[in-house]
Structure 1
Amino acid sequence: MAKPGKKYQDAAKLIEADKLYSVDEAMELVKKTATAKFDETIELHVRLGVDPKYADQQVRGAIVLPHGTGKSARVLVFAKGEKVKEAEDAGADHVGSDDIVTKIQGGWFDFDVAVATPDMMGTVGRLGKVLGPRGLMPNPKLGTVTMDLAKAISEIKAGKVEYRTDKAGNIHVPIGKASFEASKLADNMKALMDTLIRVRPAAAKGQYVKSITVVSTMGPGVPIAPQA
């Protein structure tokens, strides 16, 4: 295993062992530990007390963060007819139907989020095996299968993020950039945590939020008190 670099080691020294920080303390600290030359992404990692192998314990959805993520997502829209112009006017980066399907089948993935009108799902379904594993398949539960393309695109551009438990019950979501004010990172985190608590599965027993960690792209994790 590669030895952490000096910058990482110096940043890690700023974090007290066994201490659980408050939200405000953690956001100030994660900014200090983001020492890369680029504007690092700040992610929130949450371990939930759920067993995702059971359908009634899966946690998945999407939320528009109050202050966005600091990144403008590239939006692909599957549409035809008058919906093509609606998508283009709303700011979609790519719009098409069968032509886009062919490009993706050829290995093109120059987009971050895919949106589709319901009538296009038969066509989009042919891409299930390549879009599904990448988390790019349009889904009505996430608001990415809709006739209201303008709303879907505007929300994504404004900072809509998806949250989804992995096989171990963890959730990883970007909540901003290191250049954000600590208060804005805190606002984004609180909005996400409020949502996760609100959608707690009825089948989840015991402690629901097991741990919370905030981390920058190249920095060490900062543990947050679950009750904070």
Structure 2
Amino acid sequence: MAQLSKRQKAIAAKVKPNFAYPAADAFNLLKEVSSVKFNEAVDVAVHLGVDPRRSDQMVRGATVLPNGTGKSVRVAVFAQGAGLMPNPKVGTVAVDVAGAVRNAKAGQVRYRTEKGGIIHCTIGKVDFTPEALIGNLNALLADLNKAKPAASKGVFMKRVSVSSTMGPGLLVDMSSLVA
């Protein structure tokens, strides 16, 4: 059986397994257990009640986070290239180029349902305030609610969990979120 490192033991002592934390407490705990020398990203995983094998239940889209992602974005345009076709679903085609550049720099994130019916997305950095991270998470969840497919039955958002790059995954209490 694998042994836990000192760092993992320290994290395990602070984190309660299978406990749904209020959003503000979860983000504060992520900051507290962060012990690496770089600014970790904060990721969210949303487990949706959709069947991704059915094409009419795919959830895909993009949203602009109100507090950005914490990354500086460079925008490049290739007018001709390796013969790859641009695809509007992926965001490689834009009629309004200025608007697309503005959105990319403002912190636009793209999401798509993966094979297990889960959406993974980065919503900021560990050094953001908990209020900024909660604002970004609420914006993402509100956009996901708008993108709910009509064919989806039952509970749409089953679980929401947040984690940092090298930190633990924390279950978030859905009642502490606005969306």
Give the TM-score normalised by structure 2. Answer: 0.90
Task: Give 3-state SS (helix, strand or coil) of 1:53's partner.
Answer: coil
Question: How far, CA to CA, are the matches of 1:12 and 1:189 in structure 2?
Answer: 25
Q: Secondary structure at the match of 2:45?
A: strand
**Structure 1 residue 4, shift from structure 2 partner:** 4.1
- Counterpart of 1:33 in structure 2 is 33
TM-score for both structures, normalised by structure 1: 0.72
Q: What does residue range 2-17 of structure 1 map to in structure 2 within 5 Å?
A: 3-17=3-17
Q: Residue 218 of structure 1 corresponds to which residue in structure 2?
A: 166
RMSD: 1.8
Residue 61 (str. 1) matches residue 61 (str. 2): yes
Report which of the two has the higher share of helix.
Answer: 1
Specify the alignment match of 2:111 in structure 1: 163
The corresponding residue for 2:149 is 201
Deviation at 1:2, TM superposition (A): 5.5
Counterpart-to-counterpart distance in 1, 2:156 and 2:64: 23
Q: Give how far 1:143 is off.
A: 4.4
Q: Distance in 2 between matches of 1:142 and 1:226?
A: 29
2-structure distance, mates of 1:221, 1:141: 30
Residues 63, 192 of structure 1: 8 Å contact kept: yes
Alpha-carbon offset, residue 41 of structure 1: 0.6
| Distance across 2 between alignment mates of 1:162 and 1:3 | 37
Per-residue Cα deviation, 1:124-168 (whole angstroms, up to 9, x for no partner): 32xxxxxxxxxxxx5324544112212111211111100111100
Aligned pair count reads 176
Q: Unaligned 5+ residue runs, structure 1?
A: 80-96, 102-122, 126-137
The AA in structure 2 aligned to 1:54 is R
Give runs of ≥4 in structure 1 deviating > 6 Å: none
Q: Which runs of 5+ in 2 are unaligned?
A: none
Tell me by how many angstroms 1:202 deviates. 1.1
Residues 3/191 of structure 1: CA separation in 2 closer, same or farther (3 Å cut): farther
Match of 1:43, SS state, is strand
Counterpart AA for 1:218: M
Structure 1 counterpart of 2:125, from 177, 192, 199? 177
Query: The residue matched to 2:111 in structure 1 has which SS?
Result: strand
**Percent of counterpart pairs with the same letter?**
45
Partner of 1:214, secondary structure, is strand
Residues in 1 aligned to 2:63 and 2:155: alpha-carbon distance in whole angstroms:
23
Taking the aligned partners of 2:170 and 2:95, their CA distance within structure 1 comes to 41
Q: What CA distance in whole angstroms lies between the structure 2 residues aligned with 1:186 and 1:29?
A: 14
CA displacement, residues 87-135 of structure 1 (integer Å, 9 cap, x when unaligned): xxxxxxxxxx23xx2xxxxxxxxxxxxxxxxxxxxx432xxxxxxxxxx
Aligned to 1:116: none
* Bigger Cα Rg: 1
Q: CA deviation at 1:78?
A: 2.9
- Would you say 1:124 and 2:72 are equivalent positions? no
Distance (Å, rounded) in 1 between the aligned partners of 2:123 and 2:6: 26
Distance 2:52 2:7 in 1: 36
> Taking structure 1 as reference, are residues 179 and 205 closer, same or farther at Cα in structure 2, changes over 3 Å only?
same
